[in-house]
Structure 1
């Protein structure tokens, strides 16, 4: 039986052969990390369209989002980065295929616009060959959704829906995004006003340093919560009801930005 002690001590973007390993993945896949048997643990968003990341303090959720987002951008996707903390994803702000929003008003408008893009793509009835894949990245998502609820209440009229249209838009994308090649990378516990059934839309869940209660909330069919590790980059990846320990790929802001700038310039 394998144990977490057999995981790599660290997995960095600069490791020999790592970039070649990323290049070998299908355009719809991204490397999450390496498991106890030394094999890659990846996610293919053609089959598991949305990804949930939830970690305790110091668990590296922002780094995981950055690493996954950078890989999809490298493969030709566009990204809508909703950065409620304003500072977590500045690495992506100047990239040509990224729309970065940080204010509550900006995030609200971006999600409403994403719902319109979802409808446009669905109306294409599968003719998406010339339409780039889109990833919507929500860091500190639960807090952001609570801010969106309060923002909507400041100007909601009597005949308007009670729920924020931005939150409704996100729910629509979670339920219909696969068909439209729009994918959500969500950092949080799926609270803040989302319907409880939206948790079921995340076929890949990455958990690190979470409580037993959070584990049971987000990965109930994977069994009891395993022992957490304080080692940087340690996580459990839950796919198909199975939790696999992993050493996740670590990519710095500068590495992500430089890699994607070189990609855009045709140097990679």
Structure 2
């Protein structure tokens, strides 16, 4: 059995990326707006991340929150974002694009794959809402996608692990399956019993922005319910503990 476990850490900023590498990540996924599920990061944040990291950086290309059906303007914008991300050092591109009926948009996906070229191609959790995961898996393999991020079409790995095992078996090593939903209570089970070897880890805490203390009642978004006095940052202590635990498990 291959004991090597690859740890990918989800990041929403340059600060997160630095924390993730320090905690023990093998690679990171760079986003912005984690509270929206992760959208395309700025080129500036990519440049600074690459300047400060020695591990691979996967760049999220997602133009907005709420689903994965995009119009032609959004698709063209994504193409330009992909080109820029590659130009400024992305080691891989993370994306997903669907039709309104929940099937993969093959035409748009092929356009993205052609632009990405020899960089890593990762289909994100849009996979978790496709109608037919096996048929979709065939499509992604056929079009040259290298990796899929999934929780087995569920919100937790405990509910989705059977589907993940099924697609791993079906794919026969033709595509890498990156498993989300990693938590302290299930990581040993995932590694020892399920033999999952590619883990996507995330944890964030709130960090105060002291500039807001002079007038904390002012808000800049659309809701008074969301505090403007703090923002999410990667949780170093949690991530370090998880990376250490994973390394110890793979060595046993």
User: Aligning the two structures, in what range does the TM-score lie when normalised by the shorter sequence?
Assistant: 0.3 to 0.5
Specify which structure has the bigger relative contact order, considering alpha-carbon pairs within 8 angstroms and separated by 6 or more residues.
1
TM-score by structure 2 length?
A: 0.37
TM-score by structure 1 length?
A: 0.35
